[in-house]
Structure 1
Amino acid sequence: MRTSPFLIRSGTLALVGGLILGQPGAAMGFGLTGAASDYNLFLFENLYQRGGDVEGRAAVGGNASLTSVGIADRLPSSNGSDTHFVVGGDLTIQNSGIFGGNANVGGTVTGDVYFNNCQGCQVTSDDLIDFEAARNHYQNLSQTLFNLETTGTTSLNPHSKQLRFTGNNTGTNVFNVSLSEAREIFLDAPSSSDLVVINVTDETFAPNWFGSLFHEEANADSSKWQNVIWNFANATTIDFSFSWRGTVLAPNADISLRNGNIEGQVIANSARLDVWSGEFHNYEFTGTLPPSGSTPDDPSTPPLRREIPEPTMILGLLAVGAMGLVKRRNTLEQPQG
């Protein structure tokens, strides 16, 4: 059977296109991946919350206790096709509602689960999330970020105790700092940056007084912090007694929120909100993270973005493809003996 030159030509171009657009061994950077990627609040162990809400999806690996709490109240209704609240253990619930989606509970349910803005929503018991695997994934990610080389500068005003982060890189800005003396934070790094990593070295973070977090571009706009990830790699206890902006990655920490809101995704060991104040607001992380487990000093680390070959390399690939096409065509057109 004679092979169509069009098929040969198409295959050659597909091969060249594959080499150009998807080089073997190359890997693009990515946003927040893993089990927590779609969750406003993701905990490996327990949640205890009185009042307030979690605007997006919430997942709790252990037990959850809710009183007068709204879960996923800023999400559209899925009419029972999506799950907005996952509890690996037992759920104790009072005067609280799940908005727009199902609740998945691995253990027992004590109290009435109210579904709001959702026809056909229900409590299910499917095994949706492997929380131990997720814990391992985010601990590795936290260590990867902690190992990144510092690119920005920090300065602490001795009088006002304002801690200033300055980074002019539109790619990745990395800061390593203790927050123990800070009473106010000012971020001067472009919101158009691929990523802003603030590695916090403290094992505990519970200041007696803290002011506010400001951004150079727009102080009151929490969306300017969506490329920022606060990496509390060493922390075991975090006490937020004030509003916080940016995604919080604290895989080993038990966090409390005594006042204000966290304007970003939260990944932590456990959370406690017991003073009828404090909320988790659903600002999705939009930064470009390095692959978990890689470090910038490792020559085998894939690049954050897919590399496009130089024009000369592209011409070379096309030439090789053309030579193969001619050779194949000559072979096919030779008279058969």
Structure 2
Amino acid sequence: MSRIFLLAAALAVSGLPATAHAEKLSGYAVQTSGDYTTRGGNEIYGKVAVGGNITANADRFGTHLTAADNGSPGVVVLGDINYANSQLLHGDVVYGGSNLSPLYHPIATPNGATYQATPLVFDAMSTAAATVSALFGGMNTTGSYSDLWGVGTLTATAPGLNIFQLDAGQFDSLHQLNLVGAPGAVAVINIFGSVSDHLTFNIGNFTPDSVLFNFVDATRVQSNGIAWQGAILAPNALVSLEGGSVLGSVVSKHFDAAGATVRGDSFAYIPTTTAVPEPASWAMLILGFGAIGLLARRRRYRGRPAVN
């Protein structure tokens, strides 16, 4: 059994606290393991992490960062950067490949700098995101769902964590999705399959950091003017935003947008040991994988049955 499955199995046994905040899904408003491509006019409130290349035109990054973020990376890119008429309000742009930006219209960093540095390791972040998605996707449904004339209602039945499940056909058939629950309830909405939709949300007593749209196996999430009232987790998908907004963070395989806003209020109910790591935590996560593998090897050495 691979180390990542050993970790997932251990987490499944430990479970998730029903009401207590654990870790955030991501410290970035947008985190993608592949390419980040925009066609203009996007606003990203927070930081951005890109595991591939980034191409941006007339985008504004870090618009809600502050002077406290100066001197630290606000946009981190493993590959090449290609900006035109874009701006990072606070912090630095750090890239590992080449700077292909137009000579006379590069990204503006009024409170920082743009420079090349040793690329960061994104593999741990991508692995952790996929693990979190699979963990939630494998949990039993606890909330109820009803649909009346294209208006879907998800009703929380527990005071803390509630797991819902929809397939792509159900999701795409809706023009409105309502969440019903007591204050303090948490909703993980597992969606299976790729989607392309335009709908509205009413999250009632839920807050944006307590709602997660978990696209477990989707390869494409096409959002047509949707105002997402929570975070999007789609580790295997291209998330494409045509206008609209996301109140939570976006974690994806690829990211594409035009005229969209991502506020980046991260989902805050991830089990502590599975949180998508901050850069400073990557080494600890890798060490954790190593420790799990070492434990398995020691058990074999002592003559105990091997883990298959």
TM-score (norm 2): 0.76
1:212 maps onto 2:218 in alignment? no
SS at match of 2:140: coil
Among the aligned pairs, what percent are the same residue? 21
Of the candidates 184, 188, 212, which is equivalent to residue 197 of structure 1?
188
TM-superposed CA distance for 1:128, in Å, is: 5.8
Separation (CA, whole Å) in 2 of partners of 1:26 and 1:244: 30
How many residues end up aligned between the 2 structures? Answer: 250
- Post-superposition Cα deviations, 1:186-237, rounded to whole Å, max 9, x if no partner, equal 00123412x3211001x21013xx33100223xxxxx822111111011001
Kindly report which structure 2 residues correspond to 1:91-106, keeping only aligned pairs within 5 A, or say none.
91-106=81-96
**Which residue of the partner structure matches residue 123 of structure 2?**
132
Separation (CA, whole Å) in 1 of partners of 2:211 and 2:183: 8
Q: Check 1:191–1:257 CA distance in 2 against 1; reply closer, same or farther (3 A cut).
A: farther
RMSD after superposition: 2.2
Kindly report which structure 2 residues correspond to 1:34-183, keeping only aligned pairs within 5 A, or say none.
37-49=26-38, 50-78=40-68, 80-111=70-101, 112-116=106-110, 118=111, 121-127=112-118, 129-157=120-148, 159=149, 161-178=150-167, 179-183=171-175
**Which residue of the partner structure matches residue 185 of structure 1?**
177
**Which residue of the partner structure matches residue 301 of structure 2?**
none
Q: Check 1:27–1:169 CA distance in 2 against 1; reply closer, same or farther (3 A cut).
A: closer
TM-superposed CA distance for 1:291, in Å, is: 4.7
Separation (CA, whole Å) in 2 of partners of 1:244 and 1:204: 16
- Cα pair 2:132 2:270 within 8 Å, conserved: no
**Which residue of the partner structure matches residue 235 of structure 1?**
218
TM-superposed CA distance for 1:132, in Å, is: 1.9
**Which residue of the partner structure matches residue 229 of structure 2?**
245
Separation (CA, whole Å) in 1 of partners of 2:126 and 2:190: 19
- Post-superposition Cα deviations, 1:246-268, rounded to whole Å, max 9, x if no partner, equal 11110000011112111111100
Separation (CA, whole Å) in 2 of partners of 1:150 and 1:232: 15
Structure 1's unaligned 5+ residue stretches are 1-24, 218-222, 294-337
Of the candidates 267, 270, 273, which is equivalent to residue 251 of structure 2?
267
**Which residue of the partner structure matches residue 316 of structure 1?**
none
Q: Check 1:60–1:99 CA distance in 2 against 1; reply closer, same or farther (3 A cut).
A: same
Of the candidates 256, 260, 267, which is equivalent to residue 278 of structure 1?
260
SS at match of 1:115: coil
Q: Check 1:286–1:115 CA distance in 2 against 1; reply closer, same or farther (3 A cut).
A: same
Separation (CA, whole Å) in 2 of partners of 1:286 and 1:198: 14
- Post-superposition Cα deviations, 1:44-102, rounded to whole Å, max 9, x if no partner, equal 01111111211100111111011110111111023642111011111001110111101
Q: Check 1:200–1:102 CA distance in 2 against 1; reply closer, same or farther (3 A cut).
A: same
- Cα pair 2:228 2:246 within 8 Å, conserved: yes
TM-superposed CA distance for 1:171, in Å, is: 1.7
**Greater fraction strand:** 2
